[in-house]
Amino acid sequence: MNDLSLHILDVAQNAVAAGAGKITVSVCDEKGGVRRIEVCDDGCGMSAEMLARVTSPFATGRQSRRVGLGVPLFKLAAELTGGYLRVESEQGKGTRLTAVLMTGHIDCPPLGDMGGTMALLIGQNPGIRFVYRRRAARGAFRFDTDALRQELSDVPPGCFEVQTFISAFINDNEKELVEVHQ
């Protein structure tokens, strides 16, 4: 995958498949060139056996295929930068995936189009609450679909205008954090 937003999309789709009602995506640029990405959900969680194998390409919870490359590729992307990937999960309570990447490393992929990624997730899954949190050295913002639903009332989040707004809002805030704080 060319950028981190595609890895995040894949992990969030796993959370959707796990029956999550709330999915939180956090991207935090920390001191020392560390980027911490967390995707947390309140879905069905994983058994201890599945959790032990989740980073293997031959482990998947899907019935339609026998291979699952999303988490192993995300782990590889993190490790190539000198970082790591950790997955915590408990059946009936949900899952937390944490990836730590060193942004100064030549192999660190760019973050990518987080606005488009979140707009796609929200538009395709209108019944799920999504929270996107982004933090850099001296700035942060948060996007929450609960606040969006209150403002929109009867307008579906999948309509073109709403999708365009979500994408632009997130990408404009991302751009401001990068321009102001780098």
Give tens-digit pLDDT for 55-108.
776 655 545 544 567 888 999 999 999 999 999 999 999 999 999 999 999 999
> H or E segment at 85?
strand 84-90
Torsions phi, psi of 24, nearest 5?
-115, 130
Written as six digits, the tokens of 120 are 């796609």
Beta carbons of 71 and 55 less than 8 angstroms apart: yes
Question: Residue 157: beta bridge partners?
Answer: none
* pLDDT at residue 61, as a whole number: 54
Q: Stretch 152-178: mean pLDDT, rounded?
A: 88
Average pLDDT over residues 12-31: 95
Distance of alpha carbon 19 from alpha carbon 76, whole angstroms: 26
Long-range (24+ apart) CB contacts under 8 A made by 63-70 are: 70/7, 70/10, 70/11, 70/14
Domain locations along the chain: 4-181
Q: At what angle do helices 4-17 and 70-80 cross, to 10 degrees?
A: 150
Q: pLDDT for 37-49, tens place per residue?
A: 999 999 999 988 8
The percentage of residues in the chain with a pLDDT greater than 90, rounded to a whole number, is 70
CATH topology of domain 4-181: Heat Shock Protein 90 (3.30.565)
Buried b (16+ CB within 10 A) or exposed e, 135-174: bbeeeebebebeebeeeeeeeebeeeebbebbbebbbebb
**What Å distances lie between residue 131 and 57, 155, 180, CA to CA?**
28, 19, 23
pLDDT confidence band for 35 (50 / 70 / 90): very high
Q: Which residues contact 109 (CB under 8 A, 6 or more apart)?
A: 1, 2, 3, 4, 77, 101
Q: Give the model's pLDDT for residue 180.
A: 53
Look over the chain and give the mean of its residue pLDDT values, rounded to a whole number.
Answer: 89
Q: Where are the beta strands (DSSP E) in 107-165?
A: 129-136, 139-144
Task: Considering only residues 157 and 180, tell me which one the structure prediction assigns the higher pLDDT.
Answer: 157
Least confident of 99-103, 113-117, 135-139: 135-139
pTM of whole model > 0.85?
yes
Residue 182 has pLDDT above 80, yes or no: no
